[in-house]
Amino acid sequence: MKAVLCREPGQLELIDQPAPGKPQAGWVRLAVSHVGICGTDYHIFEGKHPFLVYPRVMGHEISATVLETGEGVELAVGTPVIVNPYLSCGTCIACRKGKPNCCTNIQVLGVHTDGAFCEEITLPAGNLYPAGDLGLEAAATVEFLAIGAHAVRRSNAPEGSRALVIGAGPIGLGAALFSRVAGHSVTIMDTSAERLAMAASDFGFTSGIQVGEGAAEAIASVTGGDGFDVVFDATGNAGSMEKAFGAVAHGGVLALIGVVKDELRFSDPEFHKREMMVIASRNALRADFEHVADAIRRGLVPVDKLITHRTTLADAPRDLAHWATQKHGLIKAVIEIGS
């Protein structure tokens, strides 16, 4: 069985590895169909991920088809599935609270344990959601979109809120799309004029602010000087995350979607006078996956515009390394592995 291994930062190779054996009770052997390449994967390639030990087979944005089931599994062979890549313990305090997305012993595929840049994988049946009539390529986008959908749900921002999404990459666009689904008035902020233009032309986010001189004035102009009711920072950049505090309205919410190795600093007086709330948003829950899949089926998410690049398992080592630095026109790249 072929797999793409990141042996150490900057080193990708196509390797042979044993195919998984018969699944144990409650587990399922899957034929991987499509895998999205995430910002996390680029960070792993570049040596910037805070939770990773090399070598590692990456890949956690997965669609697949059931090949074989262990005892007690009701999924039929041949069922197309969306994969939830967060393996939780089921017993820790987070799991007992219904928050397996932040399990204290979490194992995220492709990060803490080997992922799906490979032909087959075996997973617990509870992490598999039938894709139904959703195409397998579209099904591979559900996980990354669920990250933004989860952040929007976590923010509890009501319909009519003014929302700022900082970072127009895939996660930021996902947050923007589901902020709009929630009835928010969405502005996108990014360093790249190209990304802002793409967000406007392809996704209809015509309110955009470019990071740099004049950004503070633009925020004031869009919000009448009040700031945004909810700000989603999806940059994974400490400097941006710190500056995001200043864009939040009094009584507003800042949701930090990205994660960095750095410590964050902010002005306590500015934080307190706003009585603002700061939340971390990590991974997603089944409800988020189902919300995203439903939104795609309803035509609320233009998957055809999100997927801009495609490659094969054999070409992934070359293409991922190239896309890590050459991102012109890139939103989401997908590895086509099987059908």
The C-alpha atoms of residue 331 and residue 322 are separated, in whole angstroms, by 14
Predicted pLDDT of residue 88: 97
147 exposure class (CB count in 10 Å sphere: 0-12, 13-18, 19+): buried
63 three-state secondary structure: strand
DSSP, residue by residue, 210-268: ESSTTHHHHHHHHHTTS-EEEEEE-S--HHHHHHGGGGEEEEEEEEE----SS-----H
Tens digit of each residue's pLDDT (9 = 90 or more) over 3-49: 999 999 999 999 999 989 899 999 999 999 999 999 889 989 998 77
Tens digit of each residue's pLDDT (9 = 90 or more) over 140-151: 999 999 999 999
Predicted pLDDT of residue 260: 83
Tokens encoding 194: 């190209």
Tens digit of each residue's pLDDT (9 = 90 or more) over 281-322: 999 999 999 999 999 999 999 999 999 999 999 999 999 999
pLDDT confidence tier of residue 339, bands split at 50, 70 and 90: low
104 exposure class (CB count in 10 Å sphere: 0-12, 13-18, 19+): exposed
Count of residues in the chain:
339
Sign of dihedral through CA atoms 63, 67, 70, 74? positive
Mean pLDDT (the chain) is: 95
Q: Are 105 and 92 in contact (CB under 8 A)?
A: yes
Tokens encoding 79: 């069922």
Nearest to 311 by CA among 283, 282, 334: 334
Mean pLDDT confidence for 119-133: 97
Q: Are 9 and 54 in contact (CB under 8 A)?
A: yes
Beta strands in the chain (DSSP E): 2-8, 11-16, 27-37, 56-57, 61-69, 80-83, 86-87, 107-108, 120-124, 128-130, 162-166, 185-190, 208-210, 228-233, 248-256, 277-280, 307-312, 332-336
Task: Please check the confidence at residue 51 and state whether its pLDDT lies above 80.
Answer: no
Cis omega before residue 55 (within 30°)? yes
Task: Please check the confidence at residue 50 and state whether its pLDDT lies above 80.
Answer: no
pLDDT confidence tier of residue 215, bands split at 50, 70 and 90: very high
SS (H, E, C) 131-156: CCCCCHHHHCCHHHHHHHHHHHHHHC
Query: Percentage of the chain surpassing pLDDT 70?
Result: 100
Mean pLDDT confidence for 159-164: 98
What's the pTM?
0.94
Predicted pLDDT of residue 338: 81
296 exposure class (CB count in 10 Å sphere: 0-12, 13-18, 19+): buried
104 three-state secondary structure: coil
35 three-state secondary structure: strand
The C-alpha atoms of residue 188 and residue 196 are separated, in whole angstroms, by 7
Residue 150: partners with Cβ closer than 8 Å, 6 or more residues away: 101, 281, 283, 284, 285, 288
Task: Please check the confidence at residue 68 and state whether its pLDDT lies above 70.
Answer: yes
Tens digit of each residue's pLDDT (9 = 90 or more) over 162-194: 999 999 999 999 999 999 999 999 999 999 999
Tens digit of each residue's pLDDT (9 = 90 or more) over 237-282: 999 999 999 999 999 999 999 888 789 999 999 999 999 999 999 9
Predicted pLDDT of residue 40: 87
